[in-house]
């Protein structure tokens, strides 16, 4: 039962990150004027990062006894999301507020890269379920 819960938590993490990154954020900027979409996405990001940390931590705890590597990858997501939320996100907001477009682009690119790595790591964990844990 713990493995099923771990699989569901990891699937929620993976799907939530993909939906937020490629669905919700893109939708906001096509459905709303930029002066509304920007502040809206800014308010949503702390919740997104909290979701990532909590779901990855739950999945790591649930899978730990069965697959230490998968748990470690999920824990890595948690640990690297903390500075993304607490340091990188405020720096992106400051760059936006200051009109520092090149700094914003660089920092935003870094945040996108981190999220893509997180999605990839969650995908690796899901693949491990298929190849090691569930067989």
Q: Are 121 and 76 in contact (CB under 8 A)?
A: yes
Q: Tell me the pLDDT tens digit for each residue of 76-102.
A: 999 999 999 999 999 999 999 999 999
For residue 32, what is the DSSP state?
S
pTM value surpassing 0.85: yes
pLDDT at residue 133, as a whole number: 65
Angle (CA) 109 88 30, round 5°: 50
Tokens 């999605």 sit at which residue? 119
Q: Tell me the pLDDT tens digit for each residue of 25-38.
A: 889 989 999 899 99
Which tokens go with 113? Answer: 């890269």
């Amino acid at each position: 039962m713990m493995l099923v819960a771990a699989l569901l938590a990891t699937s929620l993490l993976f799907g939530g990150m993909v939906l937020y990154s490629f669905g919700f954020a893109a939708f906001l900027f096509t459905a709303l004027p930029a002066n509304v979409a920007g502040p809206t996405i800014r308010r949503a990001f702390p919740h997104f990062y909290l979701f990532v940390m909590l779901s990855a931590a739950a999945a790591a705890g649930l899978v730990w006894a069965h697959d230490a590597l998968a748990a470690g990858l999920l824990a890595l997501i948690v640990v690297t999301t903390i500075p993304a939320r607490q340091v990188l996100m405020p720096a992106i907001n400051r760059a936006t507020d200051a009109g520092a477009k090149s700094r914003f682009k660089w920092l935003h690119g870094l945040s996108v890269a981190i999220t893509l790595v997180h999605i990839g790591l969650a995908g690796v964990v899901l693949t491990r379920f298929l190849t090691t844990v569930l067989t």
